[in-house]
Amino acid sequence: MRDDKATQHQPTRSDYKNVWMALSDTHDRAIMHVIGSNDESAFESTGAGTLKFLRETVGIRPDDVVLEIGCGVGRVGKQIASLCRRWIGCDVSANMLQFAADRLRSLPNIELKEISGYNLQDVPDASCDVVYCTVVFMHLESWDRYAYVLEAARVLKGGGRLYIDNVNLCSEGGWKVFEVHRAFPPDRRPPHITECSTPQELETYLKRAGFCDVQLRTDDSFVRAWGLKPPIQQ
Ligand SMILES: C[S@@+](CC[C@H](N)C(=O)[O-])C[C@H]1O[C@@H](n2cnc3c(N)ncnc32)[C@H](O)[C@@H]1O
């Protein structure tokens, strides 16, 4: 049995707070774990890319209250906040949130919330128009992915929109990621290692949580899924 420091002190994957506090202990490491690079221009361009997907799927409207699950340092929030009424960034890591607060300092309509890693406990029922979660599901256990879809259903107003994504196991790019990560010996897998989703997995979560008009996009190495919380019947 292997018994060295690296494996002894590694938190488990689902100990999200300890895993992500450690990954974001400096600004450089936080940025690196958000986009895999420290290049600030890539940060801007990838944020704009995510905004484009959100506009093409759930849409962002001037009156919307928008909530991001796992907001990191505000890469996407920076693009969205000026386009909506209020942007709420939630994250398990207080370090990430501190960097987000610095980055988004000039934006008057943002709110940052530290969450447990398993739910949106302090967010009131039916208080948001859009919930999205991008490049986070790959780091979560599947049960916790679904828990956030259920929480999104709770905090969205009737007619509210949810967007989620992950690397698509069924794509060429997703399969490459799978093969690269398969090379880690089991006791050396980093706790935040990417685990892909199939389109069926994300579709199932949305439908089981009661979302309607569920749609999927699989035109690159990601699967993107979105749907509508059924409008309340008068
Ligand atoms: C790859 S970064 C993506 C950040 C942001 N969504 C973006 O696209 O720029 C993953 C983020 O998810 C957060 N995170 C990890 N596990 C989480 C959990 N269980 N609940 C909430 N946030 C989590 C991490 O702290 C980190 O900020």
Distance CA 27, CA 102 (A): 11
**Mean pLDDT of all residues belonging to the chain:** 95
> Residues lining ligand 1, judged by CB closer than 6 Å?
16, 20, 33-34, 69-72, 75-76, 91-93, 96, 115, 117, 134-136, 139-140, 144
How many Å lie between the centroid of ligand 1 and the Cα of residue 33? 9
Name the nearest CA neighbour of 190 among 11, 1, 4, 34.
11
How many Å lie between the centroid of ligand 1 and the Cα of residue 135? 7
Q: What residues contact 111, with CB distance under 8 A and at least 6 apart?
A: 86, 87, 88, 89
pLDDT recorded at residue 1: 34
User: Does 66 have pLDDT greater than 80?
Assistant: yes
Distance CA 2, CA 11 (A): 16
pLDDT recorded at residue 8: 54
Residue of 18, 20, 21, 144 to mutate, ligand 1, most atoms within 8 A of C-beta: 20
Atom of ligand 1 nearest to the CA of 116: 20
Helix (H, G, I), strand (E, B) or coil at 45: helix
pLDDT confidence bin for 143, thresholds 50/70/90: very high
Atom of ligand 1 nearest to the CA of 35: 1
Which residue's CA is the nearest one to ligand 1's atom 23? 70
Of the two residues 107 and 39, the one the predictor is more confident about is 107
pTM (two decimals): 0.96
Of the two residues 40 and 144, the one the predictor is more confident about is 144
Q: Mean pLDDT, to the nearest integer, of 55-65? A: 98
HSE at residue 12, side-chain half, CA atoms within 13 A, is 3
What is the number of other CB atoms lying within 10 angstroms of the CB of residue 127? 16
Atom of ligand 1 nearest to the CA of 23: 25
